[in-house]
Each structure stands twice: as C-alpha cells, then as structure tokens.
Amino acid sequence: MRQKVLVLYLANSALDAPTVAWAVYDGTGETRPMAGDNDQAPYRTGVDALKDGWRLIQAAQILPHSRGDEFDLAYLKYEFLFEKLVETAT
C-alpha cells in the first residue's frame, strides 16, 4: 500500500467551501505533480474529494481573527489534509 496526500485550502472553514489552492503528493510514484502544473483544482470542494474516496485526516482549526487580521493575505488559513491508500505491485 502507498499513500497519496491531497491538501486543499478552502475559502472558509466549511468542508463544502470552494477550493482556493491545493497540493497533491503521490507516494506511489505514478505521477509527479508540481505546484502550478494545473490551472484547475482537483476538486471543487472538500466534500467532492470525500465523494471520490479521499479520507479526511485533518481539518482546519477554527480560530477567531484578531482585529485587523481578517484582511491579512500572508497565509491560507483553511487547510484540509486528505489521504488515499492505493495498492501497488511493489
């Protein structure tokens, strides 16, 4: 078994919010995705990833914004980690 990891950054803390950024890591070695190699998100929402068999392993921690931080674009706050286990021949 090998692990594939999907990181979705959503517009807010709800799992059905739109995807705004993403990263994919393939532990099977079948693909070598790189940041910026696709203009389309692999899933429109986190719920769509669940429907396709990805398992949610970490949800975004919901923390209140400090005054003025709601306008800070320095980081993506709503990160969700998913995994999919895939059988391989090796």
Average pLDDT of the chain? 88
* Average pLDDT score over residue span 27-56: 90
Confidence of residue 58 (pLDDT cuts 50, 70, 90): very high
CA 31 to mean position of chain CA atoms = 17
Percent of residues, the chain, with pLDDT higher than 70? 91
d(CA 80, CA 21) in angstroms, rounded, equals: 11
